[in-house]
Amino acid sequence: MEKSSDSKGETQVTRNRVISVTTDASGAYHAACSGQVVVIVDVIDMSTTLEVA
């Protein structure tokens, strides 16, 4: 989160969001260990399921 002041002296907050993509469970494990939210999308035969770990 970054804070900055404009010409009127008002504080504005900018939030930066990062999306990480991995192709295996070890990447999901490391992301969860670092406190990130992990969302697993499984695509099989053109049907998609969504699971939140």
Tally of CA atoms within 13 A in the half-sphere of 17 that contains its CB:
2
Residue 52: what pLDDT?
60
Contact 39, 50 (CB under 8 A): yes
pLDDT at position 34: 92
Rounded to whole angstroms, how far apart are CA atoms 19 and 24? Answer: 15
Q: Which helix (H) or strand (E) holds 30?
A: helix 25-33
pLDDT (0 to 100) of residue 17: 81
Q: Which residues share a beta bridge with 50?
A: 41
pLDDT in tens, 9-50: 777 777 778 888 888 888 889 889 999 989 887 777 666 666
Q: What is the pLDDT, as a whole number, of residue 47?
A: 62
Identify the pLDDT of residue 25: 84
Q: Characterise 33 by phi-psi region: left (phi > 0), alpha (psi -120 to 50), beta (else).
A: alpha
